Amino acid sequence: MCMRWQQNSSMATSITIRNVPDRARDELAARAALSGRSLQEYLRAQLIELANRPDVETVLARIRERKQRTGTRLSAEKILAHRREDRR
This prediction has a pTM of 0.61
Distance CA 19, CA 25 (A): 10
pLDDT higher than threshold 80 for residue 78: yes
In the predicted structure, residue 2 carries a pLDDT above the cut 80: no
User: 45 pLDDT exceeds 60?
Assistant: yes
Q: Look at residue 74 in the predicted model and tell me its pLDDT.
A: 81
Q: How far is CA 78 from the centre of its chain?
A: 29
Q: How far apart are CA 18 and CA 1, in angstroms?
A: 43
pLDDT at 58: 94
* 57 exposure class (CB count in 10 Å sphere: 0-12, 13-18, 19+): exposed
How confident is the model over 8-26, as pLDDT tens digits?
556 688 999 999 999 999 9
- Where in the chain are the domains? 22-83
